[in-house]
């Protein structure tokens, strides 16, 4: 039976950082983005407010800066190798993140079968972000169900990888989960835990199952 591996982006595939922080670094606005990350992690703001504020922060953002942020980001090692292995085995891999879709969707070029992020307008921005398109922890579960239907699997066939509160609902919905460099919000929820900078090592925890 095929399995569907669901990967978070910020703090999971990206070590100790997030897509908004990496994008903001290109604009010289890293400190502002870090402050927003801390606010949403503490529950002081929700995903729609966070998206609206980073959209404002990125008023001058260009496609070249997005590409530079993606290339320079602190990715875990061997992401593409893990996804190639999953594909060879007949499994599926998808990225589901609250970060902007224009960043997350670049991971399909690395071998992800699907990549979902919060819907942002095209870069450079000519229109506001629509709060209705901003993802949440609950939305990750809905997208997982949609992907299960698309790939012909069930929740029982899913493995989730995440690091924080935004992954809590998904960890509760699937039978196998890997906490990757995780914070306190996932304590006791994951079936496996990994600390390090190599996705293959995290994958090996569930590889033989």
Q: What is the pLDDT of residue 209?
A: 66
Question: CA 8, CA 55: separation in Å to the nearest integer?
Answer: 21
> Given this model, what pLDDT does residue 10 score?
95
Q: Which residues contact 95 (CB under 8 A, 6 or more apart)?
A: 6, 7, 8, 9, 13, 104, 107, 112, 114, 115, 116, 117
In sequence order, what are the beta bridge partners of 178? 161, 192
Read off the pTM.
0.95
The CA distance from 90 to 75, in Å, is 25
| pLDDT reported for residue 183 | 87
Among the listed residues 200, 171, 209, the one whose alpha carbon sits nearest the alpha carbon of residue 1: 209
Low-confidence ranges of the chain (pLDDT < 70): 209
* C-alpha separations of 71 from 104, 120, 131 in Å: 13, 20, 28
Sort 121 into a burial class: Cβ within 10 Å, 0-12 / 13-18 / 19+. middle
């Amino acid at each position: 039976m095929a399995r569907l591996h669901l990967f978070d982006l910020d703090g999971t595939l990206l070590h100790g950082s997030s897509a908004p922080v990496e994008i903001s670094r290109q604009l010289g606005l890293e400190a502002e983005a870090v402050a927003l990350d801390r606010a949403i992690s503490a529950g002081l703001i929700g995903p729609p407010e966070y998206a609206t504020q980073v959209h404002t922060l990125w008023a001058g953002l260009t496609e070249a800066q997005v590409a530079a942020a993606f290339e320079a980001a602190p990715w875990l090692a061997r992401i593409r190798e893990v996804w190639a292995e999953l594909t060879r085995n007949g499994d599926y891999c998808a990225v589901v993140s609250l970060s902007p879709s224009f960043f997350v969707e670049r991971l399909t070029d690395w071998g992800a079968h699907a990549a979902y992020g919060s819907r942002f307008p095209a870069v450079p921005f000519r229109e506001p972000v629509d709060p209705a398109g901003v993802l949440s922890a609950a939305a990750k579960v809905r997208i997982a169900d949609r992907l299960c239907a698309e790939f012909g699997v069930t929740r029982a066939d899913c493995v989730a990888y995440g690091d924080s509160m935004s992954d809590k609902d998904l960890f509760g919905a699937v039978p196998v989960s890997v906490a990757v460099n995780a914070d306190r919000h996932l304590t006791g929820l994951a079936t496996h835990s990994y600390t390090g900078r190599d996705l293959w090592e995290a994958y090996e925890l569930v590889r033989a199952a």
